[in-house]
Amino acid sequence: MEKRAEIKVYGRVQKAGFRDFIDEIAFNLNLNGYVKNLDDGAVQVVCEGDEDTISELLTKINITQYPIRVENIEVVYKQPTGEYTTFELIRDEDLTTATYERMDVAARYIREINSNLGQKMDSIGGKIDVLGGKMDSLGGKMDSLGGKMDSLGGKMDSLGGKINFLGGKLDYLGGKIDVLGNKIDQARVEITSEIRLTRDNFRSHLDERISTIERELSLIKTKVIP
Protein backbone atom coordinates (compact mmCIF):
# COMPACT_ATOMS: atom_id res chain seq x y z
CA MET A 1 0.00 0.00 0.00
CA GLU A 2 1.31 3.45 -0.93
CA LYS A 3 2.06 5.74 2.02
CA ARG A 4 3.55 9.11 2.82
CA ALA A 5 5.96 9.12 5.76
CA GLU A 6 7.05 12.28 7.55
CA ILE A 7 10.13 11.31 9.55
CA LYS A 8 12.27 13.17 12.09
CA VAL A 9 15.61 11.67 13.15
CA TYR A 10 17.35 12.81 16.35
CA GLY A 11 20.89 12.34 17.60
CA ARG A 12 24.28 13.10 16.13
CA VAL A 13 22.84 13.37 12.65
CA GLN A 14 23.90 16.77 11.29
CA LYS A 15 27.31 17.68 9.87
CA ALA A 16 28.10 13.96 9.71
CA GLY A 17 27.10 13.06 6.16
CA PHE A 18 23.83 11.53 7.33
CA ARG A 19 21.70 13.23 4.68
CA ASP A 20 23.92 11.79 1.90
CA PHE A 21 23.53 8.37 3.51
CA ILE A 22 19.71 8.70 3.53
CA ASP A 23 19.70 10.04 -0.04
CA GLU A 24 21.62 6.94 -1.25
CA ILE A 25 19.27 4.51 0.53
CA ALA A 26 16.12 6.26 -0.73
CA PHE A 27 17.52 6.24 -4.26
CA ASN A 28 18.23 2.48 -4.09
CA LEU A 29 14.73 1.82 -2.69
CA ASN A 30 13.11 3.95 -5.42
CA LEU A 31 11.38 6.27 -2.94
CA ASN A 32 10.37 9.83 -3.79
CA GLY A 33 10.64 12.86 -1.48
CA TYR A 34 13.44 14.79 0.22
CA VAL A 35 15.81 14.95 3.19
CA LYS A 36 17.02 18.13 4.92
CA ASN A 37 18.46 19.49 8.17
CA LEU A 38 16.20 21.21 10.69
CA ASP A 39 17.13 24.13 12.90
CA ASP A 40 16.66 22.04 16.08
CA GLY A 41 19.52 19.70 15.06
CA ALA A 42 17.28 16.90 13.72
CA VAL A 43 17.09 15.58 10.16
CA GLN A 44 13.75 15.54 8.40
CA VAL A 45 12.78 12.94 5.78
CA VAL A 46 9.58 13.09 3.76
CA CYS A 47 9.05 10.20 1.38
CA GLU A 48 6.30 8.42 -0.50
CA GLY A 49 6.21 4.84 -1.66
CA ASP A 50 5.23 1.32 -0.67
CA GLU A 51 4.74 0.92 3.08
CA ASP A 52 7.10 -2.06 3.30
CA THR A 53 9.77 -0.12 1.41
CA ILE A 54 9.42 2.81 3.81
CA SER A 55 9.82 0.37 6.74
CA GLU A 56 13.03 -0.90 5.11
CA LEU A 57 14.29 2.71 4.87
CA LEU A 58 13.61 3.26 8.58
CA THR A 59 15.54 0.10 9.46
CA LYS A 60 18.54 1.05 7.31
CA ILE A 61 18.86 4.65 8.63
CA ASN A 62 18.61 3.66 12.32
CA ILE A 63 22.39 3.32 12.71
CA THR A 64 25.29 4.05 15.03
CA GLN A 65 28.26 4.31 12.72
CA TYR A 66 30.93 6.94 13.31
CA PRO A 67 30.38 9.86 13.03
CA ILE A 68 26.62 9.18 12.93
CA ARG A 69 24.59 8.16 16.00
CA VAL A 70 20.80 7.89 15.67
CA GLU A 71 19.07 8.18 19.06
CA ASN A 72 15.38 8.43 18.13
CA ILE A 73 13.12 8.32 15.07
CA GLU A 74 9.61 9.76 14.89
CA VAL A 75 7.28 8.77 12.05
CA VAL A 76 3.89 10.06 10.99
CA TYR A 77 2.09 8.25 8.16
CA LYS A 78 -0.27 10.09 5.82
CA GLN A 79 -1.92 9.60 2.48
CA PRO A 80 0.49 10.11 -0.45
CA THR A 81 0.12 13.27 -2.56
CA GLY A 82 2.20 12.20 -5.56
CA GLU A 83 3.89 15.59 -5.58
CA TYR A 84 7.42 14.12 -5.74
CA THR A 85 8.91 12.49 -8.82
CA THR A 86 12.35 11.81 -7.38
CA PHE A 87 14.26 11.98 -4.09
CA GLU A 88 16.14 15.19 -3.32
CA LEU A 89 18.82 16.15 -0.82
CA ILE A 90 18.20 19.76 0.28
CA ARG A 91 21.53 21.28 1.25
CA ASP A 92 22.32 24.18 3.58
CA GLU A 93 22.69 27.62 2.08
CA ASP A 94 25.87 28.12 4.15
CA LEU A 95 28.60 27.07 1.70
CA THR A 96 31.18 26.48 4.45
CA THR A 97 28.88 24.14 6.40
CA ALA A 98 27.93 22.27 3.25
CA THR A 99 31.61 21.88 2.24
CA TYR A 100 32.63 20.49 5.62
CA GLU A 101 29.72 18.07 5.53
CA ARG A 102 30.75 16.85 2.08
CA MET A 103 34.26 16.32 3.44
CA ASP A 104 32.80 14.28 6.30
CA VAL A 105 30.91 12.16 3.74
CA ALA A 106 34.11 11.57 1.78
CA ALA A 107 35.95 10.57 4.95
CA ARG A 108 33.16 8.15 5.90
CA TYR A 109 33.28 6.52 2.45
CA ILE A 110 37.07 6.18 2.70
CA ARG A 111 36.72 4.50 6.11
CA GLU A 112 34.09 2.12 4.72
CA ILE A 113 36.31 1.28 1.75
CA ASN A 114 39.29 0.61 4.03
CA SER A 115 37.13 -1.50 6.36
CA ASN A 116 35.62 -3.50 3.51
CA LEU A 117 39.02 -3.94 1.86
CA GLY A 118 40.51 -5.12 5.16
CA GLN A 119 37.69 -7.62 5.65
CA LYS A 120 38.08 -8.89 2.09
CA MET A 121 41.84 -9.25 2.55
CA ASP A 122 41.25 -11.15 5.80
CA SER A 123 38.72 -13.33 4.00
CA ILE A 124 41.14 -13.94 1.12
CA GLY A 125 43.91 -14.74 3.61
CA GLY A 126 41.62 -17.20 5.40
CA LYS A 127 40.69 -18.83 2.10
CA ILE A 128 44.37 -19.08 1.13
CA ASP A 129 45.13 -20.72 4.50
CA VAL A 130 42.25 -23.16 3.97
CA LEU A 131 43.47 -23.86 0.44
CA GLY A 132 47.00 -24.41 1.76
CA GLY A 133 45.63 -26.85 4.33
CA LYS A 134 43.70 -28.69 1.64
CA MET A 135 46.81 -28.83 -0.55
CA ASP A 136 48.82 -30.24 2.37
CA SER A 137 46.07 -32.77 3.02
CA LEU A 138 45.99 -33.68 -0.67
CA GLY A 139 49.77 -34.05 -0.68
CA GLY A 140 49.54 -36.40 2.31
CA LYS A 141 46.86 -38.43 0.57
CA MET A 142 48.99 -38.59 -2.60
CA ASP A 143 51.97 -39.81 -0.54
CA SER A 144 49.75 -42.41 1.14
CA LEU A 145 48.41 -43.48 -2.25
CA GLY A 146 51.97 -43.72 -3.58
CA GLY A 147 52.91 -45.94 -0.64
CA LYS A 148 49.90 -48.15 -1.27
CA MET A 149 50.78 -48.37 -4.98
CA ASP A 150 54.34 -49.37 -4.07
CA SER A 151 52.99 -51.98 -1.66
CA LEU A 152 50.61 -53.25 -4.32
CA GLY A 153 53.45 -53.37 -6.83
CA GLY A 154 55.53 -55.43 -4.38
CA LYS A 155 52.61 -57.81 -3.86
CA MET A 156 52.13 -58.12 -7.63
CA ASP A 157 55.85 -58.89 -8.05
CA SER A 158 55.60 -61.50 -5.30
CA LEU A 159 52.49 -63.00 -6.90
CA GLY A 160 54.22 -63.00 -10.29
CA GLY A 161 57.18 -64.86 -8.77
CA LYS A 162 54.85 -67.44 -7.23
CA ILE A 163 53.03 -67.88 -10.53
CA ASN A 164 56.36 -68.36 -12.35
CA PHE A 165 57.45 -70.87 -9.70
CA LEU A 166 54.14 -72.72 -10.04
CA GLY A 167 54.50 -72.67 -13.83
CA GLY A 168 57.95 -74.22 -13.47
CA LYS A 169 56.53 -76.91 -11.21
CA LEU A 170 53.77 -77.63 -13.69
CA ASP A 171 56.29 -77.84 -16.55
CA TYR A 172 58.40 -80.24 -14.48
CA LEU A 173 55.34 -82.35 -13.63
CA GLY A 174 54.34 -82.34 -17.29
CA GLY A 175 57.80 -83.66 -18.18
CA LYS A 176 57.45 -86.39 -15.57
CA ILE A 177 54.03 -87.34 -16.95
CA ASP A 178 55.46 -87.46 -20.49
CA VAL A 179 58.29 -89.75 -19.32
CA LEU A 180 55.79 -91.95 -17.47
CA GLY A 181 53.58 -92.08 -20.57
CA ASN A 182 56.55 -93.13 -22.70
CA LYS A 183 57.44 -95.85 -20.21
CA ILE A 184 53.84 -97.06 -20.13
CA ASP A 185 53.75 -97.16 -23.95
CA GLN A 186 57.03 -99.06 -24.00
CA ALA A 187 55.84 -101.54 -21.34
CA ARG A 188 52.58 -102.04 -23.26
CA VAL A 189 54.54 -102.84 -26.42
CA GLU A 190 56.80 -105.24 -24.56
CA ILE A 191 53.88 -106.96 -22.83
CA THR A 192 51.98 -107.25 -26.11
CA SER A 193 55.04 -108.74 -27.79
CA GLU A 194 55.57 -111.15 -24.92
CA ILE A 195 51.93 -112.23 -24.99
CA ARG A 196 52.05 -112.70 -28.75
CA LEU A 197 55.29 -114.72 -28.50
CA THR A 198 53.90 -116.84 -25.68
CA ARG A 199 50.71 -117.42 -27.63
CA ASP A 200 52.66 -118.48 -30.74
CA ASN A 201 54.87 -120.81 -28.71
CA PHE A 202 51.83 -122.34 -26.99
CA ARG A 203 50.07 -122.86 -30.33
CA SER A 204 53.20 -124.44 -31.85
CA HIS A 205 53.63 -126.71 -28.86
CA LEU A 206 49.93 -127.63 -28.91
CA ASP A 207 50.06 -128.44 -32.62
CA GLU A 208 53.10 -130.59 -32.00
CA ARG A 209 51.42 -132.49 -29.17
CA ILE A 210 48.27 -133.06 -31.24
CA SER A 211 50.37 -134.44 -34.10
CA THR A 212 52.17 -136.80 -31.71
CA ILE A 213 48.84 -137.99 -30.25
CA GLU A 214 47.44 -138.58 -33.72
CA ARG A 215 50.49 -140.70 -34.70
CA GLU A 216 50.23 -142.73 -31.54
CA LEU A 217 46.51 -143.34 -32.11
CA SER A 218 47.22 -144.55 -35.64
CA LEU A 219 49.79 -147.07 -34.32
CA ILE A 220 47.35 -148.28 -31.71
CA LYS A 221 44.62 -148.72 -34.27
CA THR A 222 46.98 -150.76 -36.47
CA LYS A 223 47.84 -153.13 -33.68
CA VAL A 224 44.31 -153.51 -32.36
CA ILE A 225 42.50 -154.02 -35.68
CA PRO A 226 43.81 -157.07 -37.73
Residue 190 identity: E
Please report the pLDDT score of residue 1 as a whole number: 87
Radius of gyration in angstroms for the set of CA atoms belonging to the chain, rounded to a whole number: 60
Q: Higher pLDDT residue, 152 or 73?
A: 73
- Beta-bridge partner residues of 151: none
> Which entry of 4, 12, 28, 37 is annotated as an active-site residue?
37
Contacts by 143-149, CB closer than 8 A, 24 or more apart = none
> Which of 198 and 89 is assigned the larger pLDDT?
89
Can you give the pLDDT at residue 121? 65
Structure confidence by residue, pLDDT tens digits, 49-97: 999 999 999 999 999 999 999 999 999 999 999 999 999 999 876 656 6
What kind of architecture, by CATH, is found in domain 2-91? 2-Layer Sandwich (3.30)
3-state DSSP percent of the chain in helix, strand and coil, to 5:
65, 20, 15
The whole-angstrom separation of Cα 15 and Cα 134 is: 50
What residues contact residue 159 under an 8 Å CB cut-off, 6+ apart? Answer: none
Percentage of the chain lying above the pLDDT 90 cut: 38
pTM of the predicted protein model: 0.49
CB 22 within 8 A of CB 108: no
Q: Where do the structural domains in the chain lie, given as residue ranges? A: 2-91, 94-226
Q: Which sign does the torsion angle of CA 112, 113, 117, 123 carry?
A: positive
Q: Which of 4, 19, 32, 108 is catalytic?
A: 19
The per-residue pLDDT for 222 is: 77
The answer to whether residue 16 scores a pLDDT higher than 70 is yes
Above 90 in pLDDT, residue 196? no
* Phi, psi angles (nearest 5°) of residue 13: -125, -5
Task: Give me the chain's average pLDDT, please.
Answer: 82
111-126, pLDDT tens digit by residue? 567 666 667 767 777 7
| pLDDT confidence tier of residue 23, bands split at 50, 70 and 90 | very high
Residue 72 among the catalytic residues: no
Phi/psi region, residue 180 (left: phi>0; alpha: psi -120 to 50; beta: rest), is alpha
Which residues are CB-neighbours of 92 under 8 A, at least 6 positions away? 37, 98, 101
Q: What is the pLDDT of residue 107?
A: 58
Q: What is the pLDDT of residue 161?
A: 74
**Is 91 one of the annotated active-site residues of the chain?**
no
